[in-house]
Amino acid sequence: MHIEIDEISKEFGSTAALHPVSLAIPSGALVALLGPSGSGKTTLLRILGGLEFPTSGRVLFDGEDATALTVQQRRAGFVFQSYALFRHMTVFENIAYGLRARPRAQRPAAAEIARRVTKLLDLIQLPDIGARYPSQLSGGQRQRVALARALAIEPRMLLLDEPFGALDARVRKELRAGLREIHDTTGLTSVFVTHDQDEAMELADLVVVMSMGRIEQIGRPADIRARPATEFVKSFLSA
Amino acid sequence: MSDTHLRFRPVATEPAPVRAALILTSVAFLAVLLFAPLIVVFVEALRDGAIAAVASLANPEAASAIRLTLIVAALAVPLNAVFGISAAWFITKYDFRGKALLITMIDLPFSVSPVVAGLCLVLTFGANTALGGWLVGHGYPVVFALPSIVLASMFVTFPFVARELIPVMIEQGRAEEEAALTLGASGWRIFFTVTLPNIRWALLYGVLLCNARAMGEFGAVAVVSGKIRGQTATMPITIEMLYNEYLSVAAFSLAAVLALLALVTLTLKTLLEWRFADQLAASHHR
């Protein structure tokens, strides 16, 4: 799905988290929102997912105005920073949650839900953990379960907030490849937030560098490396 | 010899005499303040034998007091559970002006004397006030009747549930609810499938404390109930009246029932904790 962000701004009280920013995300791309904390990248992601409403501006999904759509209507698969798995439910129940929450007419039968959950567990290469609770999983396993849960609702896009933030360096490297693979198999337009430039450069098709609520540069990783557009980008990349 | 002994003592452990003193102090306090009185209640109740004790409970006055106390708890506790959940939800999930003030207001019943609270109810709903007169005129007397006893019990117990829930809900944050939202769940569905299961233990503790306090409340109820025998006298009030009339077996038998109800509450809590220990542990870790 093609996403267009048209002059979006966001104020919290009197502080501006986002100055009007515009950005076009081509269908099927894997995009990184890169910047230090406080740069507005998470706010922008939450606005895409419908968890925050912008102060002004529009969001367009496939050319249609989606600004007023509720979070449920957007059908964005969202992976939270600390994964926000439902701690009192098993992995199976976590992944099935979105399907079971559908209105009765659209809800798949129990057998169909089980089939889809099994398929997703295979996709994240953890076929045997359906009966476990989130507290019994490692950090990397939790991240993949969160990804499976987000994919279960057959989302129109995938939004990930610091998906590797809570993991140690070795697992991080492994899971980067895993995310790239899942993105390529599903073909979903995906946006992830990160403060780690290596992660952004290695993984993304398109990197959006942000600072202080503004977009500093949009480009392919190689182009940004070769031609940083502003002083900020230059100093951020050399850090 | 003593050298190696010292070396193997864990760093964070106090020397033996200090430990002994600490343990002794707490046991002494428990014995004097908790166990001794509890034992005395049961001993006094059974002084003329179990048959006399049970007979005193069967008398209509005592039976009516037990019934009234159970009815009051059955009304006040669920109402306070609903209030406590909504207050805690409102306080922890939204940002608004005056939040600190609201939290202070919830604690008010802890600092206001129950007698004062009872008087306030009488002054608001008494038959000679505009509101009270109108209610009595329509056949709904509040003061010296069940509604005021429920209101007084609710006032005294309303911090319990909210106070148990607020820290738990702050610690858990909004992430799981937000996740459920992005998965397409409606508000009610999220409440019943995500929020409620996450707070159920805190809610249970709050409800149990609230229940114990509601059944035992004396001061506020004494003021608003009018202490009408067989009608508006709850268990604690009846116990006091019997005691003042030197009917000590009857008084202590009723007191023993009240203490037993509290013990049942405690046992229930312990049993539930034991039965669901694994879930309890799971819900404390992410």
**B188-200 confidence digits (pLDDT tens):** 999 999 999 999 8
Same domain, A67 and A179: yes
Give the total number of structural domains in chain B.
Answer: 2
- Where does a domain end: A105, A120, A154? A154
Average confidence (pLDDT) over B51-76: 92
B116 and B178 share one domain = yes
What are the chain B neighbours of A84 within 8 Å (beta carbons)? Answer: 175-176, 178-179
Q: Rounded to an integer, what is the distance from CA B153 to the centroid of its chain?
A: 10
Instruction: CATH number of the domain at A33, please.
Output: 3.40.50.300
B113, B219 Cβ separation under 8 angstroms? yes
Shared domain check, A170 and A53: yes
User: Out of A51, A74, A134, whose CB is closest to B178?
Assistant: A51
Nearest-Cα distance to chain B for A156, in Å, is 12
Q: Tokens 């600072």 sit at which residue?
A: A211
- Do A180 and A219 sit in the same domain of this protein? yes
Q: What average pLDDT is seen over chain A?
A: 93
Residue A71 inside a domain? The answer is: yes
> B175 and A82 in contact by Cβ < 8 A?
yes
φ and ψ at residue B169, rounded to 5 degrees: -70, -30
Given A81, A133, A152, which is nearest B282 (Cβ)? A133
Nearest to A45 by CA among A59, A57, A55: A59
Q: What is the pLDDT of residue B24?
A: 95
B26 with B151, same domain: the answer is no
Please enumerate residues of A whose Cβ is less than 8 A from a Cβ of B: 49-51, 71-72, 74-78, 80-82, 84-88, 97-98, 101-102, 133-136, 149-150, 152-153
Could you tell me the maximum CA-CA distance found in chain B, to the nearest angstrom?
Answer: 87
On chain A, the residues whose CB falls within 8 A of the CB of B193 are 86, 97, 101
Mean pLDDT of chain B: 87
Lowest mean pLDDT among A124-133, B4-13, B46-55, B105-114: B4-13
H/E stretch holding A110 reads helix A110-123
Q: Using an 8 Å Cβ cutoff, are A216 and A209 in contact?
A: yes
pLDDT at position B115:
93
B28 & B59 share domain: no
**Contact (Cβ atoms closer than 8 angstroms) between residue B59 and residue B250:** yes
pTM of the model: 0.81
The tokens for A235 are 């100093």
CA dihedral B242, B244, B245, B246 (to 10 degrees): 90
CB A171 within 8 A of CB A178: no
What the block records as the tokens of B239 is: 């116990």
A64 and A173 part of one domain: yes
Yes or no, beta carbons of A72 and B282 under 8 Å apart:
no
Q: Which residue has the higher pLDDT, A69 or B9?
A: A69
A125 plus A223 within the same structural domain: no
Query: Chain-centre distance of CA B80, in angstroms?
Result: 10
Provide the percentage of residues in chain A whose pLDDT is more than 90: 89
Segment A79-98 shows an average pLDDT of 94
pLDDT of residue B283: 55
Q: What is the DSSP string of chain B?
A: -HHHHHHHS-TTPPPHHHHHHHHHHHHHHHIIIIIHHHHHHHHHHTTT-HHHHHHHHHSHHHHHHHHHHHHHHHHHHHHHHHHHHHHHHHHHH---TTHHHHHHHHHHHHHS-HHHHHHHHHHHHSTTSHHHHHHHHTT---TTSHHHHHHHHHHHHHHHHHHHHHHHHHHH-SHHHHHHHHTT--HHHHIIIIIHHHHHHHHHHHHHHHHHHHHH--HHHHHHHTT-TTTT--HHHHHHHHHHTT-HHHHHHHHHHHHHHHHHHHHHHHHHHHHTHHHHHHHH--
- On whether both A34 and A142 belong to a single domain, the answer is no
Span between the terminal Cα atoms of chain B, in Å: 46
Report the percent of chain B where pLDDT is more than 70: 93
Length of chain A: 239
For B182-239, the pLDDT digits (tens) are 999 998 999 999 999 999 888 988 998 899 899 999 999 999 998 888 889 999 999 9
Residue B285 has pLDDT above 60, yes or no: no
* B14 lies in the same domain as B69: no
ipTM for this model: 0.92
Q: In B, which residues are within 8 Å of A72 by CB distance? A: 181-182, 184-186
The pLDDT confidence band at residue B143, using thresholds 50, 70 and 90, is: confident
Number of domains into which chain A is organized: 2
Pick from A48, A49, A70, A57: nearest CA to A22: A57
Judgement on whether residues B233 and B160 belong to the same structural domain of the protein:
yes
Mean pLDDT of A113-140: 94
Whether residue A50 contacts residue A74, with contact meaning beta carbons closer than 8 Å, is answered with: yes
- 3-state secondary structure (DSSP) of residue A117: helix
Q: Find the mean pLDDT for residues A170-186.
A: 89
The pLDDT of residue B138 is: 87
Count the neighbouring beta carbons within 10 Å of the beta carbon of residue B229: 13
Is the pLDDT score of B70 beyond 90?
A: yes
Expressed as residue numbers, the domain containing B167 is 50-284
Please report the pLDDT score of residue B8 as a whole number: 63
Percent of all residues in chain B with a pLDDT value above 90, rounded to a whole number:
47
A210 near A44, Cβ under 8 Å? yes
Q: CA B167, CA B234: separation in Å to the nearest integer?
A: 33
> Which residues of chain B does A151 touch, with a Cβ-Cβ cutoff of 8 Å?
none
Distance from the Cα of A3 to chain B's closest Cα (Å) equals 17
Answer with the residue of higher pLDDT: A81 or B10. A81
Does the pLDDT of residue B1 top 50, yes or no?
no
In a domain, A80, yes or no: no
| Chain B neighbors of A78, CB-CB under 8 A | 178-179, 182
Do B185 and A75 make contact, defined as CB atoms within 8 angstroms? Answer: no
DSSP A162: S
Q: How many of the other CB atoms lie within 10 Å of CB of B282?
A: 16
Q: Quote the pLDDT of residue B286.
A: 37
Query: What is the structure's pLDDT at B98?
Result: 85
What confidence score (pLDDT) does residue B279 get? 63
Could you say which of A154, A172, A193 is where a domain stops?
A154
Domain that holds residue A234: 3-75+157-238
Which among B182, B197, B285 has the least Cβ separation from residue A78? B182
Q: Which two tokens stand for residue B200?
A: 């159920």
From A131, A154, A177, the end of a domain falls on A154
CA–CA dist B121, B112 (Å, integer):
13
In a domain, A84, yes or no: no
Whether B23 and B102 share a structural domain: no
